[in-house]
């Protein structure tokens, strides 16, 4: 009895001891973990990069993580040489594979305050280019690089034409890593223009002298165009002064400026109707002090780009006749008319620089987003 009781006591003491030792060990490992070089810690070291790379890939997101993953993974000898080539190159190299529509631009990004970019059209630099910029409408003429793509290099698809004005190329559906387009949901959005805050150095807005009510400058005239049909109806209700190649007269830039600024309203009618396809047909009259009457994507989409009270949308009226009546009213009421320029107290129009702005913004993007990225189903995204 007593001996079994003594055994129980010593067993209890032994268990207590074990628990205390275990506790001490746990505490020890909690506090000393960073100093211990256990082989398993190697796994913890690589783990986050893998997770990171995965999310970057899944979300096509902005991240520097997966490039680290590339660097950490075992590499073949050619990969190592390529890494060396990139590391030795201090600036981000963007190779302009073709000039858009053949138009050259100078290769400095300083006007955008973008530094450490090396834009080039020298194809000998292909192997060390971080990005290669392609212009959709010239791809079929010029072709894509034949040489293998270095693992770190991103191919950038650029296009400023609407889907109606540029045909899909099925063969290049899954080759690009980034898109550069007027659409706001592209990787590197470059709209045709945008509003920037005015500074104290900017002149205060003064309404230019007006001697015309409604104007339109148009060259591309097709009877099936929605804008042509709308114009044909609207002109039955209000006098529209129409200019441009479609009316047998070519305008110089100066002519265009003089005409548009002397009109109270301007028909900012897009040739085709697509999301975010809002072109200089809107931004030029806004800049020149004319009120744009827009025909294009829905009002809501315009409001993603410009203030709601800065334009008139044809869909604000159930018929062209009602629009004409509103314009007559605004022609009579100067106070009401001037409300369309309220935005001028805060903003001014900045037109984007075709080609050059795409290249510089792409380069800047490449500097900030080094992770793996790819575009699947470009054709479906753009052409629907």
Active site residues: 161
Q: Partners of 196 in the beta sheet?
A: 348
**Phi–psi pair at 159, nearest 5 degrees:** -165, 135
**Smallest distance, ligand NAG to C-beta of residue 73, A:** 13
Task: Kindly state the number of chain residues that form the binding site for ligand NAG, as judged by CB under 6 A.
Answer: 24
Q: Tell the smallest beta-carbon distance from residue 14 to ligand NAG (Å).
A: 54
The answer to whether residue 368 forms part of the interface with ligand NAG (CB under 6 A) is yes
- 157 is a site residue for ligand NAG (CB under 6 A): no
Q: Is 7 in the site for ligand NAG (CB under 6 A)?
A: no
Per-residue tokens: 153: 């290099």
Does 142 bind ligand NAG (CB under 6 A)? Our answer is no
Q: Which residues within the stretch 334-363 sit at the binding site for ligand NAG (CB under 6 A)?
A: 335-336
Residue with Cβ nearer ligand NAG (149 or 212): 149
Give the C-alpha separation, 135 to 122, whole Å. Answer: 16
Task: Give me the phi and psi of 39, to 5 degrees please.
Answer: -60, -30
Pairing, β 347-351 against β 193-197: antiparallel
Maximum Cα–Cα distance across the chain: 122
With respect to ligand NAG, which residue has the nearer C-beta, 315 or 333? Answer: 333
- Which of positions 43-72 make contact with ligand NAG (CB under 6 A)? 62-64
113 touches ligand NAG by CB under 6 A: yes
Residue 110 as a binder of ligand NAG (CB under 6 A): the answer is no
- Shortest CB 235 distance to ligand NAG, Å: 26
Report the alpha-carbon distance of residue 89 to residue 135 in Å, rounded. 25
Closer to ligand NAG by CB, 62 or 140: give it: 62
Q: Are 362 and 188 in contact (CB under 8 A)?
A: yes
Nearest alpha-carbon partner for 71 in 93, 53, 94, 89: 53
Nearest of 250, 230, 252 to residue 240 by alpha carbon: 230
Give the footprint of ligand NAG on this chain (CB under 6 A).
62-64, 78, 113, 122, 124-127, 147-148, 152, 154, 174-175, 177, 333, 335-336, 368, 372-374
């Amino acid at each position: 009895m007593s001996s079994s009781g003594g055994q129980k006591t010593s067993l209890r003491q032994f268990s207590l001891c074990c628990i205390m030792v275990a506790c001490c060990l746990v505490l020890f490992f909690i506090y000393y973990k960073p100093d211990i070089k256990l082989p398993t810690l190697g796994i913890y070291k690589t783990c986050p990069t893998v997770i990171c790379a995965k999310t970057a890939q899944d979300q096509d997101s902005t991240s520097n993580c997966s490039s680290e993953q590339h660097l950490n993974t075992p590499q073949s000898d050619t990969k190592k040489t390529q890494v060396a080539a990139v590391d030795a190159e201090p600036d981000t190299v963007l190779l302009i594979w073709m000039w858009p529509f053949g138009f050259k631009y100078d290769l400095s990004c300083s006007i955008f305050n973008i530094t450490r970019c090396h834009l080039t059209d020298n194809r000998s630099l292909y192997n060390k280019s971080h990005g290669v910029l392609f212009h959709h409408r010239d791809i079929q003429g010029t072709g894509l690089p034949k040489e293998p793509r270095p693992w770190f290099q991103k191919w950038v698809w650029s296009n400023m034409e609407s889907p109606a004005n540029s045909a899909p190329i099925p063969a290049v559906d899954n080759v690009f890593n980034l898109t550069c387009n007027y659409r706001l949901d592209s990787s590197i959005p470059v709209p045709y223009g945008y509003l920037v805050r005015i500074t104290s150095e900017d002149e205060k807005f003064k309404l230019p002298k007006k001697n015309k009510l409604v104007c339109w400058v148009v060259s591309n005239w097709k009877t099936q165009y929605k804008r042509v049909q709308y114009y044909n109806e609207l002109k039955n209700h209000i006098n529209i002064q129409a200019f441009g190649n479609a009316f047998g007269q070519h305008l110089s830039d100066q002519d265009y400026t003089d005409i548009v600024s002397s009109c109270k309203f301007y028909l900012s009618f897009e040739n085709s109707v697509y999301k975010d396809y809002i072109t200089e047909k809107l931004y030029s009259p806004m800049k020149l002090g004319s009120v744009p009457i827009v025909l294009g994507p829905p009002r809501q989409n315009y409001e993603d780009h410009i203030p709601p009270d800065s334009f008139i949308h044809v869909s604000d009226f159930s018929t062209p006749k009602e629009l004409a009546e509103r314009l007559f009213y605004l022609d009579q009421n100067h106070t009401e008319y001037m409300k369309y320029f309220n935005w001028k107290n805060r903003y001014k129009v900045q037109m984007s620089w075709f080609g050059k702005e795409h290249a510089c913004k792409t380069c800047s993007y490449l500097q900030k987003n080094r992770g793996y990225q790819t575009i699947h189903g470009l054709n479906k995204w753009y052409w629907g």
